[in-house]
Amino acid sequence: MAKVTYVRPDGEQVIVEVTEGTSVMQAALANDISEIVAECGGTLACATCHVYVDPDDLGRLSTPSTDEEEMLDYTASPRQPNSRLSCQITAGPELDGLVVRLPPTQY
């Protein structure tokens, strides 16, 4: 289990207990966090699951794969050094307390 905080563009925080093995994208969909669209269902083909990971948490994530790196060039909101695709972040105990900010748009 990992407690993940989603920060909406207006600053509202939604805290979700994410089951180990579940992606941050899947947990967002299951909890009606509509800022995550996830059109492709997690197959690295859409970039509509874009999040900004809190810079303090970046070191806890594995580095993005080459495919994720390429897809990050297609985010609707500007890509930043802390941009990640939430379908590629899988919860585990090491991610407890993770904070991700949701971009203003995914289209």
40 binds ligand FES (CB under 6 A): yes
Among 16, 18, 27, 85, binds ligand FES (CB under 6 A): 85
Closer CB to ligand FES, 11 or 24, in the complex: 24
71 binds ligand FES (CB under 6 A): yes
- N- to C-terminal Cα separation, the chain: 31
3 state SS of 102: coil
User: For residue 27, which of 13, 11, 9, 6 has the smallest C-alpha distance?
Assistant: 6
Q: Please give the residue ranges that form the binding site for ligand FES (CB under 6 A).
A: 25, 38-40, 42, 44-49, 71, 85, 87
